[in-house]
Structure 1
Amino acid sequence: MTDFKNYKVPYELAPEYSTAVAYFSMEFAIHQPLKIYSGGLGFLSGSHLRSAYELKQNLIGIGILWKYGYYDQGRNQDQTLKAEWYEKTYSFLQDTGIKIQVPVHNQPVWVKAWYLPPETFESAPLFLLSTDLPENDYLSQTITHKLYDADTAAKIAQMMILGIGGAMLVDELNFNPKLYHLNEAHAGSSIYYLMKKFGSKDEVKKHLVFTTHTPEEAGNEKHDYFLLNKMSFFYGHSISEVQALTEMDGAVYNHSLAALRFASEANCVSKLHGEVSRRMWGHYPNIPEIQSITNAQNWKYWADKQLYRYMEEGDNVAFDDRKMFLKRRAFEIVADQTGKLFDPEVLTIVWARRFAAYKRPDLIAQDLAKFQELVENTEQPVQIIWAGKPYPMDYGAISVFNSLVHLSKRFKNVAVCVDYELALSKRLKQASDVWLNNPRVPREASGTSGMSAAMNGSVNFSTFDGWICEFAKHGENCFIVPQADYHTLSIQDQDNQDLDHLFEILQNEILPTYYDNKRKWRDIVQAGMHDVRHEFDSNRMAEEYYQKLYK
């Protein structure tokens, strides 16, 4: 049984990574059976913990054990999206025996800590907090039920359990981290607990680092000071004290700005995001310079090792055969879900990630005449698969998802899958020849799905945004939609221009190469696999965090 009284990372540490770090994140996508994540932020923190384990870093994760997860994505009778919530139970989590009390609304809420040992899924140690305890009243029990609860007060309480509760847990464990790393500002309430612990803002700053993932000010959480104060978010500090500490007057508290004001080091998650972030936050005094550490995905977890082996051996026949096998196997899942039986010989385009308006899931289908011409072309046929989870209360995104479901009913080579989690994500990357990614530039901070797609023999086809800007060699390792003038054009004109370019590249470059020049296509696939292997493996990222942020 693990001893949690004087907790140490239970494996021999690499000396260059001996600095102790507690890494706070609202979601972790470690492995399919542990459903405590919604999308990119979770995929990123999951890969980070896997790399921390691989590199033997002195880092522990602090998260929340969501009883109902994010949501289960099922279907209504007409195949449209149905959000369902089921209780999850996990036999592989250890009970630490630790219970702490976090004040919420000036009332003590009991919080229990569960533990995911490193050897279970090959990840750094992860501690998960839950309020689902008989000692709590029903309302308090529900705080850790649903990830990103739509109710404002519930969401603030969740942030407090992660922030204040997580910082308390670290003390209970006697882990004594040199640094508290806030992955996004959700755990920002920890600042006020640490103020009591360390006694001054200057001391807290020595121990706090912050990562921002959001390239728009509107995307950063803001709440009313009086609501936060009423809920005990500031852990005994008055509103006037908090306003003085954060240099934020008025009625609105900006969680990201507060985290920046308390952090000794801060980073964003791609080079382009760095430029956007420095423009966005640059006019605020007394914040650290926002460095760039580009997001990445864990190669060991995501990559198809057979494909890599055949590529390294130069065995093209085995390489092509393996990709066909991966497509065929993934198409079984598509057939099971949708009744559509896809052909592994046919060029397969996949759009799969979180459904959000700026990611433009339905862009390729917005000109119906062109779309129909594309999917009905028998000379150079295509198959298209969509998947991804909209936020369950984002009715705009849900209606886009449902419109694609209805559209797919008209074509035997168009499918929409549900239950987009880690397992389906990996299979759809293996199913795809082309990984379509068309966010509105420059709104994608990083967008990592294309990295793991390339690790599975898929070619990125993307607008020039996020991590892609550091990877792209058009026609050599991917295909890029030329940049529209995003400063002067209206959103409608941007969309139209991007759509025209998207079809031009598909018809004039992608389809002819795939069907008429197999060797060139294989070269592009393998160049992507090669270029993503080290630069966009999360081992590089986890190493950079130690060099730049934890130094």
Structure 2
Amino acid sequence: MKALKSFTVRPQLPAPLAALDRLSSNLRWSWDRPTRELFIMVDSQAWDEGGHDPRRVLAEASTERLLELSTDPVFLERLAAADAALSAYLDLPRWYQQVAAPNSGLNADAPAEFDSNKAGAIAYFSPEFGISEAVPQYSGGLGILAGDHLKAASDLGVPLVAIGLFYRHGYFRQSLSVDGWQQERFPDLDPHAMALELCDGVRITLDLAGETLTAQVWKATVGRTPLYMLDADIPENPESLQLVTDRLYGGDVEHRLRQEILLGVGGIRALRALGIEAEVFHTNEGHAGFLGLERIREHMSSDGLSFDQALAAVRAGAVFTTHTPVPAGIDRFPRELMEKYFGSWAAACGISLDQLMKLGHRPEEATEEPFNMAVMGMRLAERRNGVSALHGEVSREMFAELWPGVPEEETPVGSITNGVHGATWVSAEIAEVLSDSVGENWQWADADAWQSILTVDDQVLQDARDASKVRMVDHVRDRLRSHGLAQGRSSSELEWVNTAL
């Protein structure tokens, strides 16, 4: 049985520490080392045991500790510097405003909370976002890439808006039993305890086979980039619909279909409810592909376009990134489910169910075959890409038949090799070397500034590498020890951990 009401208690910060709340609310702390060090100074144990979450550190900090810090001149000086750095990061022009927009005629006015009604906004849809372990809404590489994408967009000043779902139980956590068997558990996540803000008054509704689903919207601020996450776990919905956003990649085929309808169709409606008029719609894998169907419906109902005209208009502003190199990894939905959930959509658009199914079928594929989300992604996008040069080749081979008469090597599927967000993944030791040589702002330094890295002494690099390795080994040993103790093993049984690695 669900609790009637949940609430989160937070301590009252002394006035001199008010900036801690602002710093903890912007997920830029996840890649800004000076900000993270502030929260470690507040309570290093809470930082380590609480998943490196500033919100939890503040929630668990004692009144005495906060009062002590409020009169600590060293801490207050570092707090003021971090707060000023965040303000500068949010307000000052970045690469997009200085270089990209002026040279391309795009809108250059894109500060942290940019006016989304102006030209140039990009809507980025993904089923998961790996920004920080403090916001566990990811399972693996797809989410980590999406999280790094938002961070990079923020650093560059690109006016990007992200759309996802908020899963109340995230993705399963793994552990091993005493007998060595994998165990799974799904955490209960409280969005009020995270660096999330409820968008008051913003609700979207959509029809799911005759049932009305209502979703609220949470906002995470990732540097300069807003991430909006739809949440169906609210009292307005019956329990069956509250469960639509229960777990990432959970449930049966119909459950997945409902999630993807909420992400795609609901995501477009959330943008409208928020007053955001994006010009480009980028889907990270096929999970959000139904956004294209919603945009077709909008163009037909609002602009008076025919189905073919609306399809062309949607395609002109769409980008599709495919990650899956094998057909078995692509979502496919049976015809009967597509009819159940999109039969009324097809009728409203004046097309048959067979015509709808063709959007997710390869040429000559029987109409009874399942609806392929990757095929629809390819058909509804003007730009398509794999995630490496080799994957681009594989994707051109996989989808060549969608363009009959075009040589396979000319199939219009390009490639953009996955990268990582440097400031997130570079170790503290290497980051210090880069700061000393390239400069404090090495993350966005130009090519000329990076030439100075060639002058760094080899021993300096080796020392940094060795220090990183020692820290990694210590971390692994701590994890092994804590896991063993949690299984009920004695300290004597775990002595081997001291020499592991």
- Identify the TM-score tier after normalising by the shorter chain: 0.5 to 0.7
Quote the Cα distance in structure 2 between the aligned partners of 1:68 and 1:214.
25
1:150 deviates by 3.5
Q: Select which of 72, 75, 82 maps to 2:176.
A: 75
* CA deviation profile, 1:441-497 (whole Å, cap 9, x unmatched): xxxxxxxxxxxxxxxxxxxxxxxxxxxxxxxxxxxxxxxxxxxxxxxxxxxxxxxxx
Q: Distance in 2 between matches of 1:234 and 1:272?
A: 40
Equivalent in 227, 240, 243 of residue 354 of structure 2: 240
Which residue of structure 2 lines up, in the alignment, with residue 155 of structure 1?
Answer: 256
SS of 2:287's partner is helix
Match of 1:165 in 2: 266
Which residue of 88, 109, 116 corresponds with 2:189?
A: 88
Shift of residue 32 of structure 1? Answer: 1.7
Q: Once the 2 structures are TM-superposed, how far is the Cα of residue 66 of structure 1 from its aligned partner?
A: 1.1
**Counterpart pick for 2:315 among 192, 198, 205:** 205
Q: Tell whether the 8 Å contact from 2:154 to 2:225 is kept in structure 1 after alignment.
A: yes
SS in 1 for 2:236: coil
What per-residue deviation string (whole Å, max 9, x for no partner) do you get for residues 401-450 of structure 1? xxxxxxxx9x97997xxxxxxxxxxxxxxx9xxxxxxxxxxxxxxxxxxx
Instruction: Classify 1:340/1:153 alpha carbon distance in 2 versus 1 (closer, same or farther; 3 Å).
Output: closer
Please give the secondary structure, in 2, of the residue aligned with 1:136: coil
Aligned to 1:214: 324
Structure-2 residue corresponding to 1:29: 130
- C-alpha RMSD of the superposition: 2.9
Q: Which one-letter code corresponds to 1:193 in the other structure?
A: E
Residues of 2 paired with 1:299 and 1:117: CA distance?
A: 19
Q: Structure 2 length normalisation: TM-score? A: 0.62
Displacement of 1:133: 0.4
- 1:185 maps to 2:286: yes
What does residue 421 of structure 1 align with? Answer: none
1:261 aligns to 2:379 (yes or no): yes
The code of the aligned residue for 1:110 comes to T
Question: How many Å separate the matches in 1 of 2:177 and 2:344?
Answer: 43
Q: Distance between the aligned counterparts of 2:199 and 2:355, measured in 1?
A: 36
Cα distance change of structure 1 residues 282 and 245 upon mapping to structure 2, 3 Å threshold:
closer
Query: What is the alpha-carbon distance in structure 2 between the residues aligned to residue 71 and residue 36 of structure 1?
Result: 10
Q: Give the alignment of 1:15-414 within 5 angstroms.
A: 15=97, 16-17=100-101, 18=107, 19-90=120-191, 91=193, 92-97=195-200, 98-118=202-222, 122=223, 124-199=225-300, 200-232=310-342, 235-237=345-347, 238-245=352-359, 249-251=366-368, 252-285=370-403, 289-304=412-427, 306-307=429-430, 309-310=432-433, 312=453, 314-339=456-481
Structure 2 distance, partners of 1:233, 1:32, is: 40
Contact 1:340 1:413 in 2 (8 A): no
Q: Kindly tell me: are residues 414 and 185 of structure 1, through their superposed partners in 2, closer, same or farther at Cα, counting changes over 3 Å? A: farther
Deviation at 1:234, TM superposition (A): 7.3
CA spacing shift, 1:34–1:308, aligned 2, 3 Å:
closer
* Separation (CA, whole Å) in 2 of partners of 1:297 and 1:333: 22
In structure 1, runs of 5+ residues without a counterpart are 3-9, 342-408, 416-430, 432-551
Summarize the alignment of residues 405-424 of structure 1 with structure 2, pairs less than 5 Å apart.
none
Whole-angstrom CA distance in 2 between matches of 1:266 and 1:414:
49
Once residues 283 and 73 of structure 1 are traced to their aligned partners in structure 2, the CA distance between those partners, rounded to angstroms, is 41
1:240 deviates by 2.4
Letter in 1 for 2:234: L
Query: What CA distance in whole angstroms lies between the structure 1 residues aligned with 2:272 and 2:475?
Result: 46
Contact 2:429 2:467 in 1 (8 A): no
Q: Which amino acid aligns with 2:412?
A: E
Query: Residue 228 of structure 2: SS of its match in structure 1?
Result: strand
Partner AA of 2:311 in structure 1? K
Change (3 A) 1:171 1:414: farther
Cα-to-partner distance string for 1:181-226 (whole Å, 9 max, x where unaligned) = 1110001111211111122211111122111011112222111121
- Residues 76-117 of structure 1: per-residue CA shift (max 9 Å, x gap): 233432110111123320111211112112211111110012
Cα shift at 1:274: 1.0
Q: Is the 8 A contact 1:184 1:213 kept in 2?
A: yes
Count of aligned positions? 338
Deviation at 1:164, TM superposition (A): 0.6
Distance (Å, rounded) in 1 between the aligned partners of 2:215 and 2:377: 24
Pairwise CA distance, 1:247: 5.8
* CA distance in structure 2 between the partners assigned to 1:328 and 1:309 by the alignment: 16
Q: Report how far residue 305 of structure 1 moved.
A: 5.0
Cα distance 1:285–1:256, how it changes in 2: closer, same or farther (>3 A)?
Answer: same
Distance across 1 between alignment mates of 2:482 and 2:183: 20
Structure with bigger helix share is 2
Q: Pick closer, same or farther for the CA change 1:300–1:310 going to 2, 3 Å.
A: closer
Cα distance in structure 1, aligned partners of 2:343 and 2:394: 30
Does the 8 A contact of 1:51 with 1:123 survive in 2? Answer: no
Amino acid at match of 1:40: G
How many Å separate the matches in 2 of 1:247 and 1:328? 53
Q: How big is the shift at 1:245?
A: 4.8
Distance in 2, Cα, partners of 1:190 & 1:112: 18
- Contact 2:477 / 2:497 at 8 angstroms: preserved in 1? no
Displacement of 1:28 after TM fit?
0.5
- C-alpha displacement at 1:169, in angstroms? 0.8
Tell me the SS of whatever aligns to 2:225.
coil
Q: 1:332 to 1:227 in 2, by over 3 A?
A: same
How far, CA to CA, are the matches of 2:287 and 2:137 in structure 1? Answer: 15
Q: Hey, what's the Cα distance between the residues in 2 that align with 1:105 and 1:307?
A: 54
Indicate the SS of the match to 2:281.
strand
1:333 is paired with a residue whose SS is helix
Q: Structure 2: how far apart are the matches of 1:83 and 1:139? A: 23
> Matched residues in 1 for 2:433 and 2:296: separation?
55
| Equivalent residues of 1:189, 1:233 under 8 A apart | no
User: Whose radius of gyration is greater, 1 or 2?
Assistant: 2
CA distance in 1 between partners of 2:166 and 2:473 (Å): 33
By how many angstroms is 1:71 displaced?
Answer: 1.1
Q: Is the 8 A contact 1:160 1:187 kept in 2?
A: yes
Percent of counterpart pairs with the same letter?
28
Normalized against structure 1, the TM-score is what? 0.57
The one-letter code of the counterpart of 1:290 is V
Distance change (3 Å), C-alpha of 1:412 and 1:33: closer
8 Å contact 1:211–1:268 — kept in the other structure? yes
- Does 239-248 or 271-280 show the bigger shift? 239-248
Q: How far 1:49 moved relative to its partner?
A: 0.3
SS at match of 2:283: strand
> Which structure is richer in relative contact order (CA contacts within 8 A, separation 6 or more)?
1
Read off the aligned partner of 2:124 and give its amino acid letter. Answer: Y
